[in-house]
Amino acid sequence: MKYIVNFLVILLIFIGCSTKEYVKIQSLPKTNLVCTEFENLPDWEDEDYDLALRGFKDSCKSGRTKKIYKDLCSKAENVEDAREFFISNFLPFEIHTQEGEEEGLLTGYYEPYLRGSLTKHDQYIYPVYETPKDLITVDLSSIYPDLKHYRLRGRLQDNKIVPYYTRKESSKDVIEADVICYVDNKIDLFFLEVQGSGRVLLDNNETIFIGYDNQNGHKYKSIGKYLVDKGEIPLENISLQSIRKWFRENPDRVEEVLNYNDSLVFFKQKEQPATGSLGLELTPRRSIAVDKRYIPLGSMLYCSAEQNATKFSHIVQAQDTGGAIKGEIRADMFLGFGDDARSVAGRLKAPLKLWIFLPKGDM
């Protein structure tokens, strides 16, 4: 029999699903868990335990990870046997949806490379905005604690807060924001928003790093779904590559499709390559974006997915979020920088199983 427990309350879970030593986790989202053993994880014996341990230690630089795993972060600094460290100190719990489903979806993202300039001229005409000065963010948790993951964004007009400008409205130069740089391709800029961070090669040969800072408050809407619903691209063929190809073949409809997504991302310049929501540099194949309503940022998980004979079965760290990442068993895997990463990320769409690693003992 499988025992389902809930993240919303303090968890009392038998270690190994059989003994009476407890695990206690507080204040985590509502997610169904099924207790299991390491030996049941697909391809567990093929894991690179040392690499996984380095990933955990890196994630422990974040206060979110330390809050979840506490003394295990310091314990990880003096480990001789990485495999034994995981088995002795953690329990794997398979994540199920509230409806009891065991599979979700794995997609991929990457760090794009754009061309730009610090000044607007010639082909460099598309602005990369910082957070606007007139953007108002209302944190609802101060009034409604149950809404701690929700924020309202808007702007002040006639002493009232109204929705902030949509993507289409922003094209009319109404945004009151500093510009980090100007890039030469609006489609590349759109996909930069989707990826969340990237590099820009300036016309003075300097490379700058930029990353997500804020958003206009409008719900993210998938242009891929829009193209499928319009009958432009078959569902089974939808990918980053097929969308780009469609844009090349339909230049007169670029604005229509991009403006379908009212959401607009604002950026800030950073000192290092792609970083996630924890402020940590992302590690290819080992960092994932999750829905923090169900999976706490900073937690360690095990994923299992396969596409075209390529397996993604290994330990990962929940270090990022994304507007399109919704649901309990939903992850977006960071795949790195460059053309190879873009190729894999653009096509990755595989059934996914997830396990979260919780610490043994009373925390």
Give per-residue pLDDT as tens, 306-352: 999 899 999 999 999 988 899 999 999 999 998 899 999 999 999 99
Q: Which residue has the higher pLDDT, 83 or 29?
A: 83
**What's the helix, strand, coil split of the chain in %, to 5?**
30, 35, 40
β-sheet bridge partners, residue 304: 353
Residues 6+ apart with CB under 8 A from 343: 241
- The tokens for 170 are 């922003």
Q: Is residue 24 within 8 Å of 10, Cβ to Cβ?
A: yes
DSSP state of 298: T
Q: Is residue 307 within 8 Å of 349, Cβ to Cβ?
A: yes
115-169 pLDDT tens trace = 999 999 999 999 999 999 999 988 777 776 666 667 789 999 999 999 999 999 9
CA distances to 82, 129, 140, 166 from 169, in Å: 53, 14, 26, 5
> Residue 183: is its pLDDT beyond 90?
yes
State the chain's mean pLDDT as an integer: 89
Q: Which residue has the higher pLDDT, 260 or 2?
A: 260
**What distance lies between CA 245 and its chain's CA centroid?**
25
CA distances to 10, 139, 149, 358 from 7, in Å: 7, 23, 16, 11
The mean pLDDT value for 8-29 works out to: 42
> Residue 282: is its pLDDT beyond 60?
yes
> What are the chain's domains?
4-108+284-359 (2.40.40.10), 111-270 (2.40.240.50)
Rounded CA gap, 209 and 225, in Å? 30
Rounded CA gap, 307 and 287, in Å? 18
Q: Is residue 3 within 8 Å of 16, Cβ to Cβ?
A: no
CA distances to 107, 258, 271, 308 from 342, in Å: 12, 20, 22, 16
φ/ψ of 213, rounded to 5, equals: -125, -40
**pTM for the whole structure:** 0.80
Within 153-267, where are the H helices?
A: 167-170, 186-195, 223-229, 240-249, 254-260
Rounded CA gap, 304 and 106, in Å? 9
The mean pLDDT value for 292-301 works out to: 94
- The tokens for 22 are 């407890």
23-64 pLDDT tens trace = 334 545 567 888 899 999 999 999 999 999 999 999 999 999
Specify whether the backbone of 84 is left (phi greater than 0), alpha (psi in -120 to 50) or beta: alpha
CA distances to 2, 116, 118, 200, 209 from 206, in Å: 56, 10, 10, 8, 10
Rounded CA gap, 173 and 190, in Å? 17
If residue 335 lies in a helix (H) or strand (E), which one and from where to where?
strand 330-337
Q: Is residue 81 within 8 Å of 167, Cβ to Cβ?
A: no
β-sheet bridge partners, residue 333: 108, 288
Question: What b/e string do you get for 149-162 counting C-beta neighbours within 10 Å, with b at 16 or more?
Answer: eeeebbbeeeeeee
